[in-house]
Amino acid sequence: MRHNTGDMPGTLYIVATPIGNLEDITPRALRVLREVEVIACEDTRRTRVLLNHFGIKTRTISYHEHNERESAAGLGKLLEGGKNVAMVSDAGTPLISDPGFRVVNAAIESGITVVPIPGPTAFVAALVASGLPSDQFFFAGFLPARANARRAHLEDLAAIQATLVFYEAPHRIAAALSDAVDVLGNREAAVARELTKIHEEIARGNLRELAKRFSQSTATRGEIVLLISGASESAFESTGERELSSMRLIDRVRQLERDGLDSKLALKKAARELGLKRAEAYRLIVAQKNRRSR
């Protein structure tokens, strides 16, 4: 790494750190953390534990999601003054459901060189061990905490034909699984917990089985990635058939709404009358909405 005298801007390194097992840090990450002038941390105390473990003495400063704008300006000055900066988050890859986006964006706008130092990230580890298709996936970050918002969000994702990947808090996993069964139907899924740590567990099965299992374990702990297989095309033989079904469904839903049913009940009743599963009905409505907005 080139050390500057101040006439050239420094480089911003985005450094991935372990998600549990400290052996997962790469030799390149360790070298960069040792050689930069400053390490910008989400939480300096958390990162200090990692640095102490590897005997790294580099100066740390903090950046926070809540004052990331000011932090970005401060880090920008350091970089423009020729300092090389490594950015880390508490665990895994910065910017992946973690702060850092503003800092990187501001650096790019100022013409600073940005270099990724790849390494662990929980959703990739979970995906590759889940047994679910990995050729196409949709990483959706954290699910909303409130039930209504969570269900609405799942409805928005119902038509996606790629494995859905979420981060979820342990005290909400049972509720998330049960909402997922209702909204998406009984798809194949996996719950990856405490990856790379002593109590690592990857539970695989359909959503109903997993919902039952996690509703029984009252105090699920640890960090969790939830994976759900994508929507399948098999329920409908052709595009024409799908469009006909969705037109019939939408007509019937509108009629029931005019008769006074709220939209959720109307959809449920219309789906039942037309012999559709609720998840299929959701998918048809979402697909129709998407076609209209195109």
Give me the residues that bind ligand SAM (CB under 6 A), please. 19-20, 89, 91-93, 96-98, 121-123, 167-168, 192-197, 223-225
Nearer to ligand SAM, 190 or 279 (CB): 190
Pairing of β 85-87 and β 11-15? parallel
Count how many Cα atoms sit within 13 Å of the Cα of residue 211 in the half-sphere of its side chain. Answer: 16
* Beta carbon nearer to ligand SAM, 213 or 268: 213
Name the minimum Å distance from CB 32 to ligand SAM.
17
Q: What angle do CA 253, 258, 259 make, to 5 degrees?
A: 95
Residue 58 beta carbon to ligand SAM: minimum distance, rounded to whole angstroms: 21
Q: How far is the CB of 180 from ligand SAM (least distance, A)?
A: 15
Q: How many CB atoms lie within 10 A of CB 293?
A: 6
Which region holds residue 275: left if phi is over 0, alpha if psi is between -120 and 50, else beta? left
* Tokens standing for residue 62: 């903090």
Residue where the block lists tokens 């704008």: 69
The dihedral sign for the CA sequence 46, 52, 54, 55: positive
Whole-angstrom distance, CA of residue 226 vs CA of residue 138: 12
**From the CB of 22, what's the least distance to ligand SAM, in Å?**
12
Nearer to ligand SAM, 225 or 284 (CB): 225
Nearer to ligand SAM, 49 or 73 (CB): 49
Helix, strand or coil, per DSSP, at residue 125: helix
Cβ nearer to ligand SAM, comparing 20 with 76: 20
The residue (of 16 and 249) whose beta carbon lies closer to ligand SAM is: 16
Question: Bridge partners of 167?
Answer: 142, 225
Distance in Å, CB of 37 to ligand SAM, minimum: 24
In the complex, least distance from residue 272 CB atom to ligand SAM, rounded to whole angstroms: 35
